[in-house]
A = this chain, B = another copy of it.
Amino acid sequence: MGSYVELWKSLGMDIEKHDALLQSQRPFFKEVVSSQKNRPKKMEYFDSLVAGSHTTRIKDLANLKAAGNKIVGAFCLYAPEELVTAAGAIMVGLCGGANFPVWEAETVLPRNLCPLIKSSFGFKIGYTCPYFQISDLLVGETTCDGKKKVYELLNELSPTHVMEIPHNPDTSQGRTLWLKELELFKQQLESLTGNKITAEKLKESIELINNRRKALKRLSDLRKNVPSPISGIDALLVNQVSCDDNIQRSTSKIHELCEELEDRVKNGEGVTSKNALRLMITGSPMAIPNWKLHHIAESLGASIVVEESCSGTRYFNQFVSPKGNSMDDLMAALVDRYSAIPCACFTPNNARLQSISDLAKDFHVDGVINYTLQFCHTFNVEGVKIETLLKKQNIPLLRVESDYSQEDTGQIQTRLEAFMEMISAKTARRDNS
């Protein structure tokens, strides 16, 4: 790490605190990720991305920045990376999945706020996230009350462009607003980079990013197999880390991983037995290294086969499909694609119910865990509708609301065990009848 200290210092980071952060994370990675049995060989690359996320990748970004590239830090799937890339800038995901900086955020923010927001803010005010430090611009969005108000505070620390996302993108006025907000972000990027976003460049970026989404969808589709050829933790990890990597490189590495998994499928190999319970997780985003729920469930022998989540299908299940090559066509296609992400911030959000229903069938799901980050009102209340939906379809559901601490791990484990026993009993009854 010694060789990176100067780099971190140049970014204004708090070296001592950052060391403590890295040291707190290392045993955790070993316990949760690398100790898993029967991992695909091609996960090595993604493990190396985790290992290099505060070192080699930051050096890469610093070199790109020195060569004149601008860096845009994002919090959310609604940040239109196609525009960022078309402007010749590099979009990175900001830190927000660790419990480490939460205490510091709570010296400023209310405690009754979601851990993701507190973690992000704590990383910023604690100077422990190199992605925050290296970004020339942060891009926020009005997807929830907590975030939108915290962006006001962040903007006092770093330039933060907030895109307004309508509450309902299906109305003509909602759509018009979104298009206008994309225009304004485009202008902001052009002014930041000095580069004009041409239709040609935007079309190229759309293809580039569609390709990464397609690779991730290919990976996801492989998990439909029984047994799944990859653990939920590993699949989640690929989703979490690839967004900070070079786009082309991560795309091809995801395809390499898929090839290995296809061989496994051909040979009938999986990471669990054929009889492992297959669970879907739906709900709030899981920023790296938030593997808590996956770790508990898979340690109990379940197989997490799909995440209806910002760290899952909501990222890669929709592509940008322009009807033509003009700038208007491309911008309209961006609105179409982004407004099709079924986030609970929308009202109503019926597309998400349909998505959960479809995924449950396609992935041969035995049960669903509705995961809510603590105090995340939109996903929490939408859970009521999901409960009604799944009851109708006779699919077992467990609702879990949790933060980033380890305090409730035992409690969640007990509830999950009971849930899995209940499903097994139900399945046995069905098999015997």
| CB neighbours of A144 from chain B (8 A) | 145, 377
In contact, B164 and A171 (Cβ under 8 angstroms): yes
In contact, A344 and B149 (Cβ under 8 angstroms): yes
In contact, B401 and A110 (Cβ under 8 angstroms): yes
| CB neighbours of A409 from chain B (8 A) | none
Residue of B nearest to A376 (CB): B145
A154 to chain B, nearest CB (A): 11
| CB neighbours of A146 from chain B (8 A) | 377, 381
- Chain A's interface size range is 35 or more
Write the A127-155 contact mask toward B (1 if CB under 8 angstroms, else 0).
Answer: 00000000000000010111011111100
In contact, B149 and A382 (Cβ under 8 angstroms): yes
Write the A372-407 contact mask toward B (1 if CB under 8 angstroms, else 0).
Answer: 101101101111110000000000000001000000
Determine the distance from Cα of A173 to Cα of B381 in the docked complex, in whole angstroms. 29
| CB neighbours of A344 from chain B (8 A) | 149
In contact, B113 and A381 (Cβ under 8 angstroms): yes
Task: Say whether, besides A166-B164, A348-B152, A384-B153, A377 and B375 are in contact (CB < 8 Å).
Answer: yes
In contact, A148 and B176 (Cβ under 8 angstroms): no
Write the A93-132 contact mask toward B (1 if CB under 8 angstroms, else 0).
Answer: 0000000000000001110110000000000000000000
A181 at the interface (CB under 8 A from B): yes
| CB neighbours of A357 from chain B (8 A) | none
Q: Which residue, of A152, A347, A378, has the highest number of chain B Cβ atoms within 10 A?
A: A347
A168 at the interface (CB under 8 A from B): yes
Determine the distance from Cα of A152 to Cα of B382 in the docked complex, in whole angstroms. 9
In contact, B149 and A381 (Cβ under 8 angstroms): yes
| CB neighbours of A148 from chain B (8 A) | 167, 347, 378
Q: Which residue, of A162, A167, A173, A381, has the highest number of chain B Cβ atoms within 10 A?
A: A381
A177 at the interface (CB under 8 A from B): yes
A27 at the interface (CB under 8 A from B): no
| CB neighbours of A153 from chain B (8 A) | 381, 384-385
Residue of B nearest to A167 (CB): B142
| CB neighbours of A384 from chain B (8 A) | 108-109, 153
A174 at the interface (CB under 8 A from B): yes
| CB neighbours of A385 from chain B (8 A) | 152-153
A180 at the interface (CB under 8 A from B): yes
Determine the distance from Cα of A174 to Cα of B344 in the docked complex, in whole angstroms. 21
In contact, B151 and A347 (Cβ under 8 angstroms): yes
| CB neighbours of A345 from chain B (8 A) | 145
In contact, B347 and A162 (Cβ under 8 angstroms): yes
Task: Pick the contact of A176: B142, B152, B176 (CB < 8 A).
Answer: B176
Beyond A145-B378, A176-B176, A375-B377, 11 additional contacts (C-beta under 8 Å) are A110-B381, A112-B112, A145-B345, A151-B347, A153-B381, A164-B174, A166-B166, A173-B180, A174-B177, A176-B177, A177-B177
7 A-B Cβ contacts within 8 A?
A: A108-B384, A142-B168, A145-B377, A146-B381, A149-B378, A176-B176, A375-B375
